[in-house]
Amino acid sequence: MSGKPTAIATLTVLTISLLATSAGAHPKLTSASPAADVSSKVSPTEIKLNFSEGVIAKFSGLALKDEAGTTITTGLPANDPQDPKRLVVQLPAPLKAGHYTVTWYAVSEDTHRVKGEYSFGVDR
């Protein structure tokens, strides 16, 4: 019983300090390949997401779905060894013609989590 106000006070302090450190420090998706809202003639062999700051591959990833909503099998997310701001996901099989949705999430080096979604097309 007597522990409850203390717990709430601690939570408030934690929330305030989280808000203070998160200001302006969230990674943003700056570009992607295949690019958003672009159709290409060639099936991509990988999806590359470029962020404004370094992201941690093991806490980041994406779901790729076709226009019927079926999840497409992908490889595991990895950092580009040349660029810690880039997340790379291999596509083991060629994509059929159609529209695809990438639903991504990423955790930056400062442990902030962001997510988003975009679409691209393959027409052959």
Min CB(5)–Cu ion separation in Å: 30
Q: Which of 13, 16, 25, 76 binds Cu ion (CB under 5 A)?
A: 25
Counting contacts by CB under 5 A, is residue 65 touching Cu ion?
no
Q: Do 61 and 49 touch, CB atoms closer than 8 A?
A: no
H-assigned helices in 2-115:
3-22
Counting contacts by CB under 5 A, is residue 14 touching Cu ion?
no
> CA-CA distance, 63 to 93, in Å (whole number)?
15
> CA-CA distance, 97 to 46, in Å (whole number)?
16
Site for Cu ion in 75-94 (CB under 5 A): none
Per-residue x/- track, 97-116, Cu ion (CB under 5 A): ---------------x----
> CA-CA distance, 77 to 48, in Å (whole number)?
9
The footprint of Cu ion (CB under 5 A) covers: 22, 25-26, 112
